[in-house]
Structure 1
Amino acid sequence: MADTPKEGKLTRFLDFTQLIDMASEAVGGKVLFATDDFFSPAENLIKSDSPSFKEHEYTEFGKWMDGWETRRKRVPGHDWCIIRLGIQGVIRGFDVDISYFSGSYAPRMSIQAANLEEEKLPEIPQRGIRTGAAATPEEFEAIAELKSNNWSYLVPMTELKPGNPASSHNYFLANSQQRWTHVRLNIFPDGGIARLRVYGTGQKDWTATDPKEPVDLVATAFGGVCVGFSNAHFGHPNNVIGVGRAKSMADGWETARRPDRPPVLENDENGILLIPGCEWAVFRLAHPGVITQIEIDTKYFKGNYPDSCKVDGCVLTTQEEEDMIKQKWDLPAQKWKPLLPVTKLSPNQKHSFNSLTLELQDVITHARLTIAPDGGLSRLRLRGFPSSICLLRPREKPAMRFLVKPGYRANP
């Protein structure tokens, strides 16, 4: 593999694009301000679907475009907008998509970010319908309180490169470990951008967690992430730990049909299919803890749900995780401890189970979901209680230390 690109450099290093889009309207992202929305509003930047093109469609202001497009600037300055992230956390990379803006894309852009306390934010006027409009003096005055000119640069001013007119992506790696809540997209001096994807992982304030209420320890909004999988032909496993209930099959994890399925299927006395193959995905929890409740949701998967599933957990250090990724998760069997035994599933249904750790009280850092023989799920929820294990994140290399609360025990 080529060297990982440095901050601000155009990259084709696509691993981060499998993470959640923290700015998407689907997870609560919101445009707070834009200097100009003449041809099409900045809200299009955070649409969850891919941009489209309608060749013969025009509005009263000009050509209809599925993106953010400002007027041709005839005064000093440049255009910019501010987006509040729907999921706040660590940003791993950006996709600045200029698809279909072949003759009107912004030639340069930069991205800044800030970590702002919600209760200290000024009151910013609601944007409403923006096509054909520019920011008012009142809006400029309100947004000036954020002092966004001084925000940290995650991508310095960089030229955008057009590619295939229908698929013109510009990827940028972010080398920051800080938590961010807002981003500012600058375009120089004007023009259009179809979509802005802000890929990363959530980061939760665990000190504010109610110790009496179970929390979803694998949720991507809190920092959970898929770190390995066997197959993701129709949808990535990161989808199943996403925000809210799935909106369609496209919002879940679905594998290809295994070619090693027997010609004629049989089942055992419990109704479980007797099939040798399976598919799996491994998740790093947002916080180490004890899983007490497991939810498997097959919503929308009516003719392609798995026959059965199981869930296992283990404790891994950062170095062990890195080693397992290189070995494609060929983890010794004794490392995994069962959280949910092999369990029959039904189509288009939310299944809720008590975890075996109600009795074992095992702290885990990673969980493995196994489905047999193949198929799709819409959501996985692993609810429980965070422990005081200190799990160091990637790029932090001091020796791992485990501090376990009384009543909890780590796996050997």
Structure 2
Amino acid sequence: MIDNKNVPAFAELSEFASLSAGGSVVFATDDFFAPCESMLSDSEPVFIADKYTEFGKWMDGWETRRKRIPGHDWCILKLGTKCVIRGLLVDTAFFTGNYAPKYSIQAACLSPEEEALLPRRDTKMGSACSECDLERVKQLRSDKWEEIVPITALRPGYEESRMNYQKVLSDESWTYIRVNIYPDGGIARLRVYGEAKPEAPPRDQLVDLASMLSGTTCLGYSNAHFGHPRNIIKSNKGETMADGWETARRLDRPDVLEASEDGTLKVSGEEWAVFKLGFCGTIKEIFVDTLHFKGNFPDSIKVEGSFLDEEWSETKPIHWFNILKPSKLSANKEHWFPCNSDVISHIRVTIAPDGGISRIRTYGLVEPNIF
């Protein structure tokens, strides 16, 4: 369930550090109590009171040993794609007497030659980086990378204090970040929110215009009770229902359902989500996947488009035209719909009456020289 209380606007954007977004750990100074990869896990952190390993208490996140040598711990993460970072979430859930007291974030875009310097990552609980790997990574001079979050205090992982949001004031694009913790300790989850900034594909290349990797972002929605609509533009297959967009059951649905002539149900309500495409273009085919949604898929879906040369607003009148008319959906299934749109910059996805979908793809051609 999505809790929007005290959540900043940037957290509505796409996320690029988690494993499902293509994020990965390429280096960490220490993985003693819990390996760094756990910090990028897509699941909510959990606490198991009586779970221990040979190295100590099992924790769901990244936790380093109590440092007894000079320095501080840090890691380098590769983001899912080149992106502008608008904000971060450092979640210290369940790290109460062992959370990292402070952190900072640095960022860089690495060349292929620089990426070749990164050692092979060997994830292993109870370990620390070797001197050889450390010397190799030092050639990247990551301690001199652009600081996008200065040294900032973290709060302990109690429910009321675990969510540490931080806005980032930079319009630069990055592919890697360095996460510094001072001097040691644990972080349950790290999320990096922003906008993808890929290179424009060739005009004749069919691409998914609605992919987060194309720079698409979710601007607004009517309901996200069980899952956020930004999930449906991820590039991977959906992992679970929680990894899709799912709304609450509408309370205005009819007591007895009836079918229209086209086979869709007669309902008075519907749910919607609006997306700004990373590239303007024309859509030729739409793919809708209801994977994992077996007893809670929508009855139907429609997709509309618009070309906007200004910011979208829920209160501003916009002319939407049909790209995909209301079309029946089935449980746990891939659906393909041919279409042929005009040049558009935004789409509105509407499901009726409610329910969930796992992914949507809008395959089309980029229109160059717009914006």
Does TM, scored on the shorter chain, surpass 0.5? Answer: yes
Corresponding residue of 2:105? 111
Distance 1:156 1:338, change over 3 A: same
2:368 equivalent to 1:376: no
Q: Which of residues 152, 161, 165 is equivalent to 2:155?
A: 161
- How far, CA to CA, are the matches of 2:113 and 2:215 in structure 1? 23
Aligned-pair distance for 1:82? Answer: 0.7
Residue aligning to 1:289: 281
CA distance in 2: counterparts of 1:28 and 1:73, whole angstroms:
30
For 1:340 and 1:62, locate their aligned partners in 2 and report how far apart those are by CA, in whole Å.
55
Q: CA deviation at 1:25?
A: 1.6
Instruction: Give 5+ residue unaligned stretches, structure 2.
Output: none
Within the alignment, does 1:245 sit opposite 2:237 as a pair?
yes
- In structure 2, the partner of 1:397 is none
Q: Is contact 1:82–1:183 with CA below 8 Å preserved after alignment? A: yes
CA distance in 2, matches of 1:131, 1:272: 53
For the 8 Å contact 1:249–1:301, the answer to whether it is kept is: yes
The Cα shift of 1:12 comes to: 4.7
Matched, 1:336 2:320: yes
Greater CA drift, 45-54 or 377-386: 45-54
Query: 1:265 and 2:238 equivalent?
Result: no
> Which residue number in structure 2 is paired with residue 74 of structure 1?
68
- The answer as to 2:207 corresponding to 1:215 is yes
Q: Tell me what 1:147 maps to.
A: 141
Question: Quick one: which amino acid aligns to residue 273 of structure 2?
Answer: A
Q: Which residue of 1 aligns with 2:187?
A: 193
Counterpart in the other structure of 2:28: 34
* Cα distance in 2, alignment partners of residues 102 and 123 from structure 1: 36
Q: 1:16 to 1:212 in 2, by over 3 A?
A: same
Asked if 1 retains the 8 angstrom alpha-carbon contact of 2:281 and 2:344, the reply is yes
Query: What per-residue deviation string (whole Å, max 9, x for no partner) do you get for residues 168-205 of structure 1?
Result: 12110111221111010111111111111112222211
Amino acid at match of 2:333: Q
Residue 331 of structure 2, aligned match among 331, 347, 358: 347
Could you say if the C-alpha distance between residues 166 and 189 of structure 1 is closer, same or farther in structure 2, counting changes exceeding 3 Å? Answer: same
Is the 2:203–2:368 contact (alpha carbons within 8 Å) kept by the matching residues of 1? no
Partners of 2:307 and 2:219 in 1: CA distance: 14
Note if contact 2:155-2:161 (Cα within 8 Å) is conserved in structure 1.
Answer: no
Distance 1:118 1:312 in 2: 40
Instruction: Please give the alpha-carbon distance, in whole angstroms, between the structure 2 residues aligned to 1:167 and 1:250.
Output: 24
Q: Shift of the alpha carbon at 1:339? A: 0.7
Cα deviations by residue, 1:283-328 (Å, 9 ceiling, x for unpaired): 1001111111111111221221111121111111234x2xx24x1x
Distance of 2:332 and 2:317 partners within structure 1: 32
TM-score by length of 1: 0.85
Matched residue SS, 1:318 = coil
Query: Which of 102, 105, 122 is 2:96 aligned to?
Result: 102
Question: 4+ residue runs of structure 1 moved beyond 3 angstroms?
Answer: none
Letter in 1 for 2:289: D
The residue type paired with residue 30 of structure 1 is S
Q: Following the alignment from structure 1 to structure 2, what is the Cα–Cα distance between the partners of residues 290 and 271?
A: 28
Give how far 1:163 is off. Answer: 5.0
Q: What is the SS of the residue equivalent to 1:44?
A: helix
SS at match of 1:111: strand
Determine the C-alpha separation between the residues in 2 that align with 1:379 and 1:113. 30
Deviation at 1:43, TM superposition (A): 1.6
* Larger mean Cα displacement after TM superposition, 256-265 or 101-110: 256-265
Cα deviation for residue 129 of structure 1 reads 3.7
Measured at CA, do residues 80 and 364 of structure 1 come closer, stay the same or move farther in structure 2, by a change above 3 Å? same
- Partner SS, residue 284 of structure 1: strand
Q: Counterpart amino acid of 1:56?
A: D
- Which of the residues 277, 302, 315 maps onto 2:307? 315
Match of 2:217 in 1: 225
Following superposition, the deviation at residue 130 of structure 1 comes to 2.5
Q: Structure 1 CA distance, aligned partners of 2:159 and 2:268?
A: 45
Confirm whether residue 19 of structure 1 aligns to residue 13 of structure 2: yes
CA contact (8 A) 2:277 2:345 kept: yes
**Distance in 2 between the 1:50 and 1:308 partners?**
30
Name the amino acid aligned to 2:288.
I
Q: Please give the alpha-carbon distance, in whole angstroms, between the structure 1 residues aligned to 2:147 and 2:105.
A: 6
The residue number in structure 1 matching 2:52 is 58
TM-score (norm 2): 0.94
The amino acid across from 1:122 in the alignment is: A
- Whether the aligned pair in 1 keeps the contact of 2:76 and 2:178 (CA below 8 Å) is yes
Report the 3-state secondary structure (helix = DSSP H, G, I; strand = E; otherwise coil) of the residue aligned with 1:221: helix
The one-letter amino acid of 2:207's match is: V
- Partners of 2:249 and 2:204 in 1: how far apart? 42
Distance 1:283 1:43 in 2: 30
Specify every segment of 5 or more residues in structure 1 that has no aligned partner in the other structure, as ranges.
1-10, 392-412
Structure 1, 107-116 or 264-273: larger mean CA deviation: 264-273
Does the CA-based 8 Å contact 1:101-1:165 persist in structure 2?
no
Measured in 1, the distance between the counterparts of 2:268 and 2:49 equals 51
How many residues were matched structurally? 367
1:389: Cα distance to partner? Answer: 4.5
Aligned-residue CA RMSD (Å):
1.9
Whether the aligned pair in 2 keeps the contact of 1:201 and 1:222 (CA below 8 Å) is no
**Which residue of structure 1 aligns with residue 272 of structure 2?**
280
Secondary structure of the residue aligned to 2:143 is helix
Partner residue in 2 for 1:5: none
Preserved CA contact (<8 Å) 1:122 1:145: no
Deviation, 1:18, is 2.8
Return closer, same or farther for 1:296/1:135 CA change in 2, 3 Å cut-off: same
C-alpha separation in 1, matches of 2:368 and 2:205: 16
